[in-house]
A and B are shown apart, each in its own frame.
Chain A
Amino acid sequence: MSEVISVDRIRCDGHGLCAELLPELIDLDDWGYPLLRSGQVPHHLRDHAKRAVAACPVQALRLQTGVQAAGPSRRA
């Protein structure tokens, strides 16, 4: 099962470390906040992703296995 990386946008304060450790998946915007190129983490980047999650100083990154939670999709 594939893994998905996501950012808690309220926690994240734009340290930008994650983009340094996982440039394959994460860019920074003009203000230093992460832009996820794709939430899906390919197998060969798993360890890098884990390192990025561990390195985030405010624990804003999360790595989850598999499918989205059931129920209503994200709504406006």
Chain B
Amino acid sequence: MLQRKPGLLDGPPFAAGAESPAAHQGRLGLLPARRDRLGLVATLEASGLQGRGGAGFPVGRKWRTVAERARGNAVVLANGAEGEPLSAKDRTLMAARPHLVLDGALLAADAVGADRIVLYVGEEHHTAVAALERALGERRREFGRRARLVRAPVGYVSGEETAAVHYVNEADARPTSTPPRPFQRGVDGRATLVQNVESLALTALIARFGDDWYRTAGRGSAAGSALVTVSGPVPYPGVREIELGTPVGEVAAAAGHLREPLEAVLLGGYFGAWAPIEEAWHAALDPAAMRAAGLAFGCGVVGFLPGEVCGVAATARILRYMAAASSGQCGPCVFGLAAVAEATTRLATGAALPDDLDRLNRWCGQLAGRGACRHPDGAGGLLQSALRVFGAEFAAHQWHRRCKHGHLLRKAA
């Protein structure tokens, strides 16, 4: 795949483990001097870099908002929780290129005026935790006591920004009501810049090579490059780096896809949307274009669904996961997610109640904006896409208790 050098994952092979500080600096050179780091906000704004934790908010604008706060020192929270089951790009990046992540966190701290850095890393990502702890030790002179690593508890919602702040403050990884949002009042009550670790690593490349370098790395109208995690029936699943704007079919080809029939692709992760394979094949992985098409680049998940797997059953499995992952605080999330997960599961197993499909159609529009965090929005969007992409199968499961493969579904006991 065409990739302008240097990318996030250039350098020694992953199998060689974490890159040493000497190799890292030898390959990429020094960071800009401290006095030049304030200007980075404008460079990032010009680069068009968008956050890679899921929502794609412009990074430069977020730094500016925190930098222009009224008073006090700020805090930078590098988000490496990566609870998304289909994503592995953050842990891969932290494990293989810890110094690039640290570079980004340090630049962010200097640019927004933060005297503390929290590396918030999923406790299950053992290799990443070890690599970052070691990397911090290797750069003690630069970081001093500014930075510390906090292990994020396992869970899909632990990586949500208010949950992360809550955990760092009070060891409770449940989201909190907003306002205040973390950029207003976060860790220890201070303005807090919550930024995904891939976003931070990219700022460390943009600081060295310029906003122009980043912008021109994309294809067509898309700017920049990104990490994606490819999963499904392809010979070489896993994390790779693409130019934004690369079509889904090319990502499949790079993962060794030959001729296994594919049915659909889940783009953006459990928080994202299904797309039929024929529609997605030529579609560009370009956040702006995807948003316009009702899709989401999200955290870069490209999950292929094999032809022989039922989309209703695959959706039911994801919804059950999302329902179980709820932090249990908001009624519409607790009851709504459980209800859509149960109804979809009944359909998938041939045990549908007469009005299950009608209720799913009604409920899926009632989830967005109904929780303290956007967890229900993610489940609602996923369900909405499933009802569109697998519409015929949902109907067949409702009315004939059959899936498209002709299997008569047995009523679950």
Contacts and interface: CB of A to CB of B under 8 A. Distances in A.
Contact of B57 (A9, A11, A35, A72): A72
Given A30-B339, A76-B54, A9 B330 contact: yes
A43 interface: no
Nearest 10 CB-CB pairs, A to B? A76-B55, A75-B55, A9-B330, A31-B335, A33-B331, A76-B54, A71-B65, A9-B372, A10-B329, A76-B374
A33, A35, A69, A76: most-surrounded residue (chain B CB, <10 A): A76
B148 interface: no
Contact of A72 (B183, B330, B363): B183
A35 B366 contact: yes
B331 A9 contact: yes
A2 to B, nearest CB: 19
Give the interface size class of chain A: 20 to 34
Contacts of A74: 178, 374
A8 B331 contact: no
B51, B54, B330: most-surrounded residue (chain A CB, <10 A): B330
B21 interface: no
A12 B331 contact: yes
Contacts of A71: 65, 181, 183-184
A20 interface: no
A29 B336 CA distance: 9
B57 to A, nearest CB: 5
Give the interface size class of chain B: 20 to 34
A65 B179 CA distance: 15
Contact of B377 (A11, A13, A76): A76
7 contacts: A9-B330, A9-B333, A9-B370, A29-B366, A35-B366, A72-B181, A75-B55
A72 B331 contact: no
Nearest to B330: A9
A18 B176 CA distance: 22
A11 B177 contact: yes
Interface string A52-63: 000000000000
B332 A9 contact: yes
A70 B179 CA distance: 11
Interface of A: 8-14, 29-33, 35, 69-76
B161 interface: yes
Given A10-B329, A12-B331, A72 B62 contact: yes
A71 B185 CA distance: 12
Contacts of B62: 72
Given A9-B370, A71-B65, A71-B183, A76 B335 contact: no
Nearest to B161: A75
Contacts of B329: 9-10
A53 to B, nearest CB: 16
A21 to B, nearest CB: 19
B378 interface: yes
Given A29-B332, A70-B65, A76-B53, 9 more contacts: A8-B372, A9-B371, A29-B370, A33-B332, A69-B179, A75-B51, A75-B161, A76-B54, A76-B377
Contacts of B183: 71-72
A10 B330 contact: yes
Interface in B314-349: 329-333, 335-336, 339
A72 B366 contact: no
Given A10-B372, A72-B65, A76-B374, A31 B177 contact: no
A10 B298 CA distance: 26
A12 B53 CA distance: 29
Contacts of B336: 29, 31
Nearest to A70: B65
A67 B152 CA distance: 35
A7 to B, nearest CB: 9
